[in-house]
Structure 1
């Protein structure tokens, strides 16, 4: 074959390969849903709550943005029919993650994060919010799921007042969790004081650690917890079930996990979504476990400080209040230029986690308290995208 024919043949081959690559990339983008409008991000818009006339729904639309376990958004709202300034928050028992959170402690903290966002938004919108926890009594712990359906976590009573600007309000519209690497910069003593001295309940405390000894110890707990969790198939399966592979699924469900939570954004997000949709095994089984462990190691290796939220007790009210404090901690950290990520696997209460759970409590809550949150804290290296949120009207119970 002549050199000219060889060159022509090679040109045809390269042209075909190039065309095939283009078709492959375009196909992945289409499968990802690149042209779909992300309705699941609408609640993050500052004017979203303004669509609603009822102040209770407007405040609930702000609560919807708060941090929550597994991004399940397990909230239900019942509007008082007789008093237009009263509404009730219920824990949505159909959104329990029973494998990872068998005693619903994280579920209760998630109720608290919601309430604190409502509280802060109330100031900004001109409503004083009086929050009464468990106004109809405690849950029946022997029939917890059913009890959640009938007994509210809180009654919120609004009183119209003059709006007052909250220094934390604007930070509610930022993602609550950043899983990327952080700058190595340590916090100043003044910054630590501001975080540890957030207006906390008498039974709660915030402790910041950034010294070498405690960093090594807490890094070890974070890795140990991730390794154990990655090896418990039923827990990993629970997360796998709520993974949303593409834009179509994210718009349909509007809760759960997605590739953004793994730090993927931009064009790579759509490529990854297309691949995971075509090959679900990329995000399940051993692949998911390995990815989780590696992600935790990257987080631990790029963390300058940790924060612990510790409660003297572990009753339901204490759990809710710990969530309220967590919201304040997140927003105050944002105001200071920091971001956060929970690394609380070691605090989970399923049998396989018993040993490290006991050990970390012996080290950091030896007086009998309960560590409600363990989070990494630092200056971000990059911004991360916002996560899915449900339409606030999906939270409203119509009866």
Structure 2
């Protein structure tokens, strides 16, 4: 009788444990957002831009999908009140990354990425797009943030035209950054030529490096600079402040970082988001720094090539132009079956990054050029999820 009682108690205990585990998993996945609608992905829907009759808003909705620093989406759109085919792009000074990007150079590159997506989309849906950079003059660098509010980055003028379908248009819907491992094979001669042909010979150049020596050199620079960033608390704190831990946060604040950016998807995404939501200490400063270093090392160890964008000068216009070329690079790479990931920490202009900045410019821009972007490039081994995007209406100011 005692044996039967023990067995019965064990069965009850096991059932209670399984029920508790099941309840915990339900709570965990719910906290991670498994049952929530991802409204932050609406702009990626191929019907989203078509909802707007105003061609300026429609094209801006395509621009919204462009690559941008820290996923801050720092764009402001102002519609011309007198001309229904003209609008202006402003940089949003409230979305500056003051610690990682104190000179606002990356912010200007990000303005260029938006403009090129608008140009590619315009051609495909039947508009010629004319872009004039800094139509009212460049910034007053002594009053930079205020100047951004009054000086547009670009004037965009549209004209109805016959659609010219471009294979790059479909690439707009492919995430611009893939942090996963790449295949070991090098770029083909045709792929290399297509990437290097993107540069503007007057000011902007694009280079591909895939010989062993340069891959090792650039990989070491990228790794060293990532470790410096991980150890620079104020820069990491800035990134932590825009980390969205779960679906609720991503829906409420549709910009910044999330686990998707690290390639996490599927049930693992909700599981990890649930853990971080319920146990925030798991996302401590040290854990974040360690994860960044580990993921960077893994990515760099599986990188067959690097691409670099340089400019003859470092003016605001040159920075914007380099962003336009960078967008064209990401779209071209996707069309060619390639993926890219920026590894540009060595190009950041805060004091702790001085040595890597000087080193990479000494080696790869010895004649006074400025390196605007450094990316790893190769054939991806995995696809990656799309990242948060704001509603385009939130970008429009009157």
Aligned with 2:167: secondary structure? coil
TM-score, normalization by structure 1: 0.98
Report the counterpart of residue 342 of structure 1 in structure 2. Answer: 342
Report the counterpart of residue 225 of structure 1 in structure 2. Answer: 225
CA distance in 2: counterparts of 1:259 and 1:290, whole angstroms = 15
Aligned with 1:177: secondary structure? coil
TM-score, normalization by structure 2: 0.98
Conserved? CA contact 1:134–1:153, under 8 Å = yes
Conserved? CA contact 1:207–1:309, under 8 Å = yes
Report the counterpart of residue 143 of structure 1 in structure 2. Answer: 143
Conserved? CA contact 1:91–1:152, under 8 Å = yes
Query: C-alpha offsets along residues 354-398 of structure 1, whole Å, 9 cap, x if unaligned?
Result: 001000100000010011001011111111100000000000002
CA distance in 2: counterparts of 1:150 and 1:63, whole angstroms = 21
Aligned with 1:165: secondary structure? coil
Aligned with 1:264: secondary structure? coil
Conserved? CA contact 1:131–1:155, under 8 Å = yes
**Aligned alpha-carbon RMSD (Å):** 1.0
CA distance in 2: counterparts of 1:257 and 1:105, whole angstroms = 20
Report the counterpart of residue 310 of structure 1 in structure 2. Answer: 310
Aligned with 1:168: secondary structure? helix
Aligned with 1:323: secondary structure? helix
Offset, 1:4 = 3.1
Conserved? CA contact 2:129–2:158, under 8 Å = yes
CA distance in 2: counterparts of 1:198 and 1:108, whole angstroms = 19
Aligned with 2:172: secondary structure? helix
Conserved? CA contact 1:90–1:154, under 8 Å = yes
Query: C-alpha offsets along residues 320-347 of structure 1, whole Å, 9 cap, x if unaligned?
Result: 0000000000010001100110011111
Query: C-alpha offsets along residues 149-185 of structure 1, whole Å, 9 cap, x if unaligned?
Result: 0100000011111111012000101111011111111
Residue 288, structure 1, aligned to residue 288, structure 2: yes
CA distance in 1: counterparts of 2:206 and 2:199, whole angstroms = 10
Offset, 1:30 = 1.2
Query: C-alpha offsets along residues 288-337 of structure 1, whole Å, 9 cap, x if unaligned?
Result: 11111001001111111110111111000000000000000001000110
Of stretches 188-197 and 316-325 in structure 1, the one that deviates more from structure 2 is: 188-197
Offset, 1:232 = 0.5
Report the counterpart of residue 366 of structure 2 in structure 1. Answer: 366
Offset, 1:201 = 4.9
Conserved? CA contact 1:240–1:284, under 8 Å = no
Conserved? CA contact 2:180–2:382, under 8 Å = yes
Report the counterpart of residue 377 of structure 2 in structure 1. Answer: 377
Of stretches 46-55 and 280-289 in structure 1, the one that deviates more from structure 2 is: 280-289
Offset, 1:2 = 3.9
Conserved? CA contact 1:76–1:90, under 8 Å = yes
Query: C-alpha offsets along residues 198-252 of structure 1, whole Å, 9 cap, x if unaligned?
Result: 2535211111111110111011011101110000100000000000011111011
Conserved? CA contact 2:199–2:206, under 8 Å = no
Offset, 1:10 = 2.5
Of stretches 109-118 and 186-195 in structure 1, the one that deviates more from structure 2 is: 186-195
CA distance in 2: counterparts of 1:281 and 1:366, whole angstroms = 45
CA distance in 1: counterparts of 2:234 and 2:338, whole angstroms = 34
Of stretches 283-292 and 366-375 in structure 1, the one that deviates more from structure 2 is: 283-292
Query: C-alpha offsets along residues 9-59 of structure 1, whole Å, 9 cap, x if unaligned?
Result: 332222222111111110011112222111110100111011111000000
Conserved? CA contact 1:89–1:155, under 8 Å = yes
CA distance in 1: counterparts of 2:363 and 2:6, whole angstroms = 72
Offset, 1:284 = 3.2
Aligned with 1:173: secondary structure? coil
Report the counterpart of residue 77 of structure 1 in structure 2. Answer: 77
Offset, 1:283 = 2.1
Conserved? CA contact 1:89–1:153, under 8 Å = yes
Conserved? CA contact 2:178–2:340, under 8 Å = yes
Offset, 1:193 = 0.8
- Off by >6 Å, runs of 4+ in structure 1: none
Report the counterpart of residue 277 of structure 1 in structure 2. Answer: 277
Of stretches 137-146 and 28-37 in structure 1, the one that deviates more from structure 2 is: 28-37
Conserved? CA contact 2:70–2:256, under 8 Å = yes
Residues 169-248 of structure 1 correspond to what in structure 2 (within 5 A)? 169-198=169-198, 200-248=200-248
